[in-house]
Structures are given as C-alpha cells and as structure tokens.
Amino acid sequence: MRRWCTQFWPVGLGLLGFIATWYAVIWAFDLQWFQLPSPHVVLASLAEHWRELGSAAWRTWRSASLGFLAATCLGLTTSLLFGALPLVRRVVYPALVLLQMIPIIASAAMVVILLDTGTIATVVIAFLISYFPIMANTTRGLMEVPREQLDLFQLYRARGWQRLFWLRLPQALPAFFTGLHVASTLVVIGTVTGELFATSSDDQGGLGYLIFVYRAQLKTPELYSAALLSSVLGFFFVGVVSLLRRMLLSPWYKLEVDEGAPD
Amino acid sequence: MFPLHPFAGISYSAAMEESVSIHIDNVVQTFSPGTRVLRGISATIKPGSFVGLLGPSGAGKSTLLRIVAGLLPPTGGRIDFGSEREPDISFIFQQPSLLPWLRLHDNIALPLRLDGRPKEERRARASELAQRVGLSEALERYPRQLSVGMQMRASLARALACRPQLLLLDEPLAAVDALTRTQLNASLRSWHEEDRWTALLVTHSIEEAVFLCDRILVLDHGVLAEDYAVEGPARRSLEWKSEAAYHAQVDQLNRQLLQKAAQ
C-alpha cells in the first residue's frame, strides 16, 4: 500500500493540478460553458448522456480492438517474413514506409471510398494506424541481433527456422512491445478519426461520430465527455500492452528506465 | 566460490570425441584494399594441445580465431583439421553472450537443443556442467540475475555442453575480476587436462598464456613473429605459478615482446 502511494501520488498531484488549471483558465478568461465547460459540467453531462456515450464508446472500443488485433497479427507475420527473407524485406519495406507517410485523414477518406461507411471501414482505419509501428519495430528487433549470438548459432549449425524462432524472435520481443506501445497510443486516435469519415447518420456511430454531431449542435459539455471517454479508451489499450509487456518480459528484461542519480 | 577441481573422481574422457589437429596454411585476410590483417600465417597445432595467441591489439589474433572457427572465410590460404568430417567446435567470446530470455540450464544446454537432443538429456548435461563450474544453485535463474563472473562460467559450461573437439577462446576472461580470473584459469587448465580438447586461446596476458598453454604463437602486424614452447608440468595447478620456472618464462616472453615492440 505504501509503495502504491509512493508510486501514484505524483499522478494524483498532476491530475489535481490539471483540474485546477482548467478552472483557473475559465475564470481568468471569463469563458462560457459552450466555449470551455467546467470539469464538473463535463462530468454531469457524462452522467446524463451515459447510455448514448457508453454505447458509442463500446463501438469505438470494438473497432479499435479488432483493428489493433489484426495489426498485431499481421505486423508480426510481416516482420517474421522479413526476418526469414531479407530480399522480400528490401523490396517491400520501402513501399510500406511510403504508405505510412500518407496522413491518416487521407487514408480514412480512401478507405471509405473503397469500402463504404460502416464498422469494417473503421476497423481497417484502426488497423492502418496501428500496423506500421508494430511491423517497423519488430522488424528492427529481428535485425538487431548481437553478432556473437549469430556466430554461436552458426557454430552450432542451427537451421534457418531455429535462428528465426529461437534467436531473432525472442531477441525482438522488447522491440515488438515498443511497437505495440506506440500503436496502443495511436489506435483510439485513428479509430475516432476514422469514425468521422466512416460513419453515416444511418449507422450506429462511435465516439468519433458523436464528437462530429455534438460539435455541429454546439453541445460542448457532451463533446468534452466524448473526448474524455476517448482518452479513457486510449489508457485501456496502453494499460493492457504495459501489463502484457511486464508479464512476458520482466523476468529477463530490464524494463525500468534509469532515471539517473539526483543532483 | 566454486571448487578449483570440481570434477575430481568423474571422468568425461570416455565420452569425449577425439580432439583434432589444426593446419593453418598460409592464411591471408584482407578487409578492404590496403588493410591486410593477416599476411600469410602458417602453423600446425597438435591434437589435444593448448595453444595461445599473443600479440598487440590489431595483430590479427581474433581474426585468425574467427577464420579457424569458420565464421570468416579467409581471403587466401586454408584451414584443415586433419579429419574427414567437420569437427565439433565451441567458441567462447569476450562477453558471456548468454541468451537473456533463457534460464541458465537452457543456456548451458543450447548446443544440445540446437542439435535436437531430448529434454532429459539436455537437463542432465546442464546439471552436470553447472556442478562442474559451481553454478548448481543458479540453474533456474536468468542471466540478468547473475554476476559477470557467473555468466562467464555459464558461458564456459555451454561451450563444453556439446563435448567439443576444438575449443576457441577469444579473451574469455577479460571482463572478470582478478580473483575469478585466476580461479577460472585453473579450472580451464584442469578441464583441458581431463578432456583433452584442442584449445586455441587469444589473450593479452602473458601470465595467463604461460599458465594455460603448452605453446604460444606471437602475432605481430599479421605475421607469426614467435613460436614459443612453454615448459611446464603436464598437470598444472595454481602452485605452479609460484615456481621460478613459471616466472622465468613469463619474464622471457615479456622481454621478447618488448624487444619486438621496440623494433
């Protein structure tokens, strides 16, 4: 309990500071509720529209999860393919980098033109934003194996698959989790952005769609509630990845960043 | 602390493959135009002998070792082991190079795992070797939970796991403290006396070379500058280090190397 308190009091302090600053800004600039609603107004609106916001958050979570899962599976598979076949990596990787340069808004528009609006389009957009960090980091991890370890496997006449699955893949796990972490911070942003394009009024929209509607209707407290829920969803993905990383890597890999000695 | 003669009463020799000779025939190594690291090295190393490679940094010792291991194809010349089939070679690097995601017993038994040996055999051999190097208590630990000295001992155990015919050592004890180094040297020599693998050791330490080796090849600017036969007892313990004959040979080699450096 004491350790927990020590670890989390800076987070609590930061949160309190943030809320205090929020109130201070409203007071200092004399802002109206439709310009910047107070935190308690946002919470009240969240409670009032909980049913609508909750089901929208569920739909966003579902699209983000499916996209994230697909990106994880395909990102890992592509990286393994690149690890096993360097020629394929040299041919395909630059093309993937080029595709990654397309802004997500443009990708989302293209996906909607191709697939029409709906959940599938949102999932594809969530996939597109998550795929590259996972694939790029895992591929880097697979390539960055210490020479001595490669020499060792060569000396002991390891077969190609042994080198890939018993050396390169475990060696790449920390980098794979770095990719997952980056993707987990992006996936909700991508999904919500995608929902702005990929949801029509006939569809049951996610948080992105609600944000779009609330902005048009000048329902600012509701808009802030939807934004708050998006942020909570983002935390969920980051938390799950952090937990998995801790469970799988912590026995053998140093997770903590050395913060250095105090001055 | 681990025993200096931990295998007393146990004979591994019956299970050992026959050690091999090494015929180094006019080996040349050029890395880029104008960078000739080895300029035609020729030497024959008898089966079961312990040979040291001494010389200043950049003399080509490690390069020659990697060529003998088959990790680097020579630009010219050839290596022959005087046997029809490829010998079983183990390599000990400057760093322990253990796989961080494997527990110690799996690290020690890595060569057997790559060779497709059954789990029971791997565990039995790992336990036997861990006892030999004084790491029986640490078999379930991960490398990051061990000191550098313990990791180096595990690396030695791994090198012996496949019962090598030829053991190549590239400054294996450079990273450990003086006391551990002395103890490991004594162990190395006694294991060699018991198992009779052929050994080729790269070192910067004249004392270490005279204690461990039957013969010392001095490399200088890529050529074989000196071929020195060490006169010492066949079975060596640390007591030999306090004898006048040992010190006389260390002094003599020291003088010869200083003269070469002055030329």
Q: Do A151 and B91 touch (CB under 8 A)?
A: yes
- Other C-beta atoms lying within 10 Å of the C-beta of residue A5: 9
Return the residue of A nearest to B158 by Cα: A152
DSSP run (H or E) holding B119: helix B119-133
**Cβ atoms of B138 and B146 closer than 8 Å:** yes
Compute the nearest-CA separation of A162 from chain B (Å). Answer: 7
Most B CBs within 10 A among A159, A176, A252, hence the mutation to make, goes to A252
Contacts of B146 in chain A (CB under 8 A): none
Contacts of B142 in chain A (CB under 8 A): 251-252
Sign of the dihedral defined by the CA atoms of residues B220, B226, B227, B232, in that order: negative
For chain A, which residues make up each domain, given as ranges?
Answer: 51-248
Q: What homologous superfamily is domain B13-88+164-262 in, according to CATH?
A: P-loop containing nucleotide triphosphate hydrolases (3.40.50.300)
Output the six-digit token pair for A36: 């910047």
Q: Do B100 and A252 touch (CB under 8 A)?
A: yes
The pLDDT score that the predictor gives to residue B9 is 30
**Cβ atoms of B217 and B226 closer than 8 Å:** yes
Residues of chain B below pLDDT 70: 1-17
Contacts of B101 in chain A (CB under 8 A): 170-171, 173, 252-253
Output the six-digit token pair for B54: 């001494």
The pLDDT score that the predictor gives to residue B52 is 96
Contacts of B70 in chain A (CB under 8 A): 154-155
Contacts of B100 in chain A (CB under 8 A): 252-253
Compute the nearest-CA separation of A2 from chain B (Å). Answer: 26
Return the residue of A nearest to B90 by Cα: A155
Residue type, B100: P
Please indicate if any CB of chain B lies within 8 Å of the CB of A150.
Answer: no
Label residue A30 left, alpha or beta by phi (over 0 means left) and psi (-120 to 50 means alpha). Answer: left
Using CB atoms, which residue from A156, A171, A251 is nearest to B111? A156
Compute the nearest-CA separation of B246 from chain A (Å). Answer: 34
> Edge-to-edge, what's the strand order for the sheet holding B166-170?
B89-92, B166-170, B198-202, B50-54, B215-220, B223-229
DSSP string, chain A: -HHHHHHHHHHHHHHHHHHHHHHHHHHHHT--TTTS--HHHHHHHHHHTHHHHHHHHHHHHHHHHHHHHHHHHHHHHHHHHHHH-HHHHHHHHHHHHHHHTS-HHHHHHHHHHHH-SSHHHHHHHHHHHHHHHHHHHHHHHHH---HHHHHHHHHTT--HHHIIIIIIHHHHHHHHHHHHHHHHHHHHHHHHHHHHHH--TTS---HHHHHHHHHHTT-HHHHHHHHHHHHHHHHHHHHHHHHHHHHHHTTTS--S-------
Q: Per residue of chain A (263 residues), what is the pLDDT tens digit?
A: 677 777 788 888 999 999 999 999 999 999 998 899 999 999 999 999 999 999 999 999 999 999 999 999 999 999 999 999 999 999 999 999 998 899 999 999 999 999 988 889 999 999 999 999 999 999 999 999 999 999 999 999 999 999 999 999 999 999 999 999 999 999 999 999 999 888 776 567 899 999 999 999 999 999 999 999 999 999 999 999 999 999 999 888 877 654 444 43
**What ipTM was predicted for this assembly?**
0.86
Strands B198-202 and B166-170: parallel
Q: Do A148 and B90 touch (CB under 8 A)?
A: no
* Residue that has been written with the tokens 């000695």 in this structure: A261
Compute the nearest-CA separation of A156 from chain B (Å). Answer: 6
How far apart are alpha carbons B238 and B256 in whole angstroms?
25
**Cβ atoms of B217 and B52 closer than 8 Å:** yes
What residue spans in chain B does CATH classification 3.40.50.300 cover?
13-88+164-262
**Cβ atoms of A183 and A71 closer than 8 Å:** yes
Residue type, A147: R
Q: Do B71 and A162 touch (CB under 8 A)?
A: no
Using CB atoms, which residue from A146, A251, A253 is nearest to B97? A146
Compute the nearest-CA separation of B127 from chain A (Å). Answer: 20
Q: Is the CATH code 3.30.920.30 the one for domain A51-248?
A: no
Backbone angles phi, psi at A39, to 5 degrees: -55, -40
* Residue that has been written with the tokens 């890939």 in this structure: A164
Between A and B, how many CB-CB pairs are < 8 A? 50
Return the residue of B nearest to A154 by Cα: B71
The pLDDT score that the predictor gives to residue B262 is 76
Strands B35-45 and B22-32: antiparallel
Return the residue of A nearest to B91 by Cα: A152
Using CB atoms, which residue from B89, B93, B144 is nearest to A254? B144
DSSP string, A15-37: HHHHHHHHHHHHHHHT--TTTS-
- Other C-beta atoms lying within 10 Å of the C-beta of residue B43: 16
**Cβ atoms of B209 and B179 closer than 8 Å:** no
Most A CBs within 10 A among B114, B142, B165, hence the mutation to make, goes to B114
How far apart are alpha carbons A201 and A204 in whole angstroms?
8
Q: Do A148 and B95 touch (CB under 8 A)?
A: yes
Please indicate if any CB of chain A lies within 8 Å of the CB of B95.
Answer: yes
Q: What is the pTM of this model?
A: 0.85
The pLDDT score that the predictor gives to residue A103 is 92
The pLDDT score that the predictor gives to residue B17 is 56
Compute the nearest-CA separation of B154 from chain A (Å). Answer: 14
Q: Do A154 and B71 touch (CB under 8 A)?
A: yes
Contacts of B143 in chain A (CB under 8 A): 252
How far apart are alpha carbons B105 and A158 in whole angstroms?
19
Using CB atoms, which residue from B69, B100, B114 is nearest to A253? B100
Most A CBs within 10 A among B101, B107, B110, hence the mutation to make, goes to B101
Please indicate if any CB of chain B lies within 8 Å of the CB of A152.
Answer: yes
